[in-house]
């Protein structure tokens, strides 16, 4: 369902009172045209280059975070989730220095925020496409906060900033959020829905009419999911960059960082006989970091 809370804003030098109030009330906000077509083209090219580099160097984990592999429409290997992508691209890293991010950081006020380029999963590239062998075409309900609990920290407010690289009208699936759930108590944050298992639409959810180049920001405590595209192949392609804005102690990751437990859980696979395969393959770590060209 498309709800009246889905309003589109434009980002200026400062956040307007209306933008701040909207974000504080609902826990998300949508800005049109954050980047122009030329920048978008370059970002897509850089993402492609990073993927090529990771594949050709047999890297399946960056700073302890596993990459998610699938198959593209042409049968070629595709990385459907890349963590810390800006580590491999001077351009993507430079994008994070855009002064408008300082404006967005103010959404975290009164907390003092910073761009987590080297923290959490860094700059993440999500790439969804519906093909027979795509491992990643939707994502069940979750918030981004329990990851902090797994990592032994208390839940701190954070923002997840999504830079959308493809058009994705509401009818094509994409991001769905439950407005206002960022202010819930800990019990509701942990148990409102079954994390990542529940993919069912919620009568109160809100979707977006995304144009390539748009930016969305959601509070890390907000329940959200990704609705699978109704289309197959190229029409279903959806690429989004996510950038964490964090607060609290600086917790950078590097090539020696351990894989968080929740990522290991995600690797558990069912055997054909229905039993869970508990062997957790560690894979290779991206020790050989590409020098930023």
Ligand X SMILES: O=C(O)CCC(=O)C(=O)O
- Which one, 226 or 286, has the nearer CB to ligand X? 226
Q: Which residue is nearest to ligand X (CB)?
A: 175
Give the per-residue contact string, 117-146, with ligand X (x = CB under 6 A; - = no): ---------x------------x----x--
- Which residues face 114 on adjacent strands? 246
Instruction: Report the residue from 68, 224, 239, 253 that binds ligand X according to the rule CB under 6 A.
Output: 224
| Least distance CB 226 / ligand X (angstroms) | 5
Measured CA distances, 40 to 165, 166, 170 (Å): 7, 9, 21
Half-sphere exposure of 87 (CA within 13 A, CB side): 26
Instruction: Report the residue from 226, 241, 246, 286 that binds ligand X according to the rule CB under 6 A.
Output: 226
- Which one, 107 or 139, has the nearer CB to ligand X? 139
Q: Is the dihedral of CA 207, 124, 268, 132 positive or negative?
A: positive
| Least distance CB 272 / ligand X (angstroms) | 29
162 binds ligand X (CB under 6 A): yes
240 binds ligand X (CB under 6 A): yes
Distance CA 100, CA 31 (A): 12
- Which one, 73 or 216, has the nearer CB to ligand X? 216
82 binds ligand X (CB under 6 A): no
Strand ordering across the sheet containing 139-142: 139-142, 224-227, 174-177
By CB under 6 A, the count of residues binding ligand X is 9
- Which residues face 206 on adjacent strands? 177
- Which one, 198 or 290, has the nearer CB to ligand X? 198
| Least distance CB 46 / ligand X (angstroms) | 18
Asked if the bond preceding 110 is cis, omega within 30° of 0, the reply is yes
- Which one, 267 or 290, has the nearer CB to ligand X? 267
Q: How remote is the C-alpha of 214 from its chain's centroid? A: 14
Burial of 232 per CB tally in 10 Å (0-12, 13-18, 19+): middle
175 binds ligand X (CB under 6 A): yes
236 binds ligand X (CB under 6 A): no
Expressed in percent and rounded to 5, the helix, strand and coil fractions of the chain are: 25, 25, 50
Interface residue list for ligand X (CB under 6 A): 126, 139, 144, 162, 175, 224, 226, 240, 242
């Amino acid at each position: 369902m498309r709800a009246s809370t889905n309003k589109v804003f434009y980002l200026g030098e400062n956040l307007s009172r209306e933008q701040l109030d909207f974000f504080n009330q609902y826990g998300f906000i949508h800005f049109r045209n954050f980047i122009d077509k030329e920048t978008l083209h370059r970002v897509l090219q850089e993402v492609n280059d990073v993927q090529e580099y990771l594949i050709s160097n047999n890297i399946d984990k960056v700073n302890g975070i596993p990459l998610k592999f699938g198959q593209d429409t042409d049968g070629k290997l595709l990385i459907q989730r890349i963590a810390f992508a800006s580590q491999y691209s001077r351009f993507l890293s430079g994008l994070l220095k855009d002064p408008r991010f300082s404006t967005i950081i103010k959404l975290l006020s009164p907390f003092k925020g910073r761009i987590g380029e080297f923290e959490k999963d860094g700059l993440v590239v999500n790439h969804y496409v519906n093909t027979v062998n795509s491992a990643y075409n939707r994502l069940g309900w979750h918030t981004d906060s329990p990851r902090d609990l797994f990592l032994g920290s208390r839940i701190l407010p954070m923002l997840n900033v999504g830079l959308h690289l493809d058009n994705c009208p509401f009818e094509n699936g994409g991001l769905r959020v439950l407005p206002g759930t960022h202010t819930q108590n800990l019990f509701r944050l942990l148990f409102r829905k079954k994390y990542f298992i529940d993919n069912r639409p919620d009568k109160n959810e809100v979707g977006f009419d995304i144009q390539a180049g748009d930016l969305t920001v959601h509070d890390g405590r907000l329940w959200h999911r990704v609705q699978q595209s109704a289309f197959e192949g190229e029409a279903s392609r959806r690429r989004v960059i996510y950038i964490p804005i964090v607060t609290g102690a600086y917790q950078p990751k590097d090539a020696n960082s351990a894989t968080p437990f929740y990522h290991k859980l995600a690797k558990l696979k069912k055997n054909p006989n229905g039993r869970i395969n508990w062997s957790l393959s560690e894979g290779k770590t991206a020790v050989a970091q590409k020098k930023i060209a």
